[in-house]
Amino acid sequence: MQSMTSNVEARDVAPGLWIWRVRHHHWKPGSDWEPVVTSTFVESGGERLVLDPLAPPTDAVEVWKRLDERPTTAAVVLLPDHVRDVDQFVDRYHVRAFGPLFFFRDDIPRTELEPIRPDSVLPGGLVALYDGRGRAETPLWLPEQRVIVFGDGMTERNGTLRVWGSPSHEKRVLPALRVLLELPFEKVIVSHGEPVHDRAAFERALELPPFEG
C-alpha cells in the first residue's frame, strides 16, 4: 500500500514494516544527497521501533495517525549525522532511544542514547551490523521481515543501488558487505533515493563502482 499526504509518502514494505518519506529540513542545493529521505517503522518481537526517524510535518495527519495508532516503543539512530528528530519521537512517545557513541558537536541529541555497536541486539530482536565504512554506522537486520535497513552505507542513483563511497571501499567495505550475504535477507531499505531494493540489486551493487558524492 502506498499513500501520499501533505507531500509525505507512506509505503508498506512487508508485514509489520512500513516507511515514510519526507523532505529533509537541512537539505541545500548542491548537497550530494536528495532532499526527500526515508524513515522506517517496524514491529518485531512485540516491540515497535522507528529507525532514523524524520518527523513528518504537523499537517501530515494520516502519517501521524498511523504512528500514534501503533505507538513506538523505541527509537534508533543508525549513524551520527542522522540524529534528526529523535528527541521529538522520544518526547512524544516516552521511549528509550539507541544510537552511536559519538556525534558532531553541533548536532548532539538532547536525549541520552543507549549506545549500539555491530552485533548489538536491540529490542524486538533487531541486530546491528558492521558496514566497514568507518562512519560509526550500524545498519540493522530485521529478521522477522528479512530486511536490512541502511543509513548511508548504500544509496540509489539513476535507478541503481550503489555502495556509498569511502576511502576503505576495497579493503573494508566490500568484505563487510559480502558478509551480509550470509543473512537470509530479501530486501534492503536505504535513506536516499528510491528506498526499497531486492537482494539481487544488493548483489549487483557490490560489483559496481561506489557512488562518490
Model confidence at 7, pLDDT cuts 50, 70, 90, reads: confident
Taking alpha carbons only, the member of 142, 178, 164 closest to residue 18 is 142
pLDDT of residue 105: 86
Taking alpha carbons only, the member of 57, 18, 58 closest to residue 38 is 18
2-205: CATH topology: Metallo-beta-lactamase; Chain A (3.60.15)
In this predicted model, which residue has the larger pLDDT, 7 or 151?
151
Please state the domain extents for the chain. 2-205
Per-residue pLDDT tens for 8-25? 999 999 999 999 999 877
Q: What is the per-residue burial (b if ≥16 Cβ within 10 Å, else e) of 107-121? A: eebebebeebeeeee
Per-residue pLDDT tens for 72-115? 999 999 999 889 899 999 999 999 999 999 888 888 999 999 99
Per-residue pLDDT tens for 142-195? 999 999 999 999 999 999 999 999 999 999 999 999 999 999 999 999 999 999
Report how far residue 183's alpha carbon sits from residue 178's, in angstroms, rounded to the nearest whole number: 10
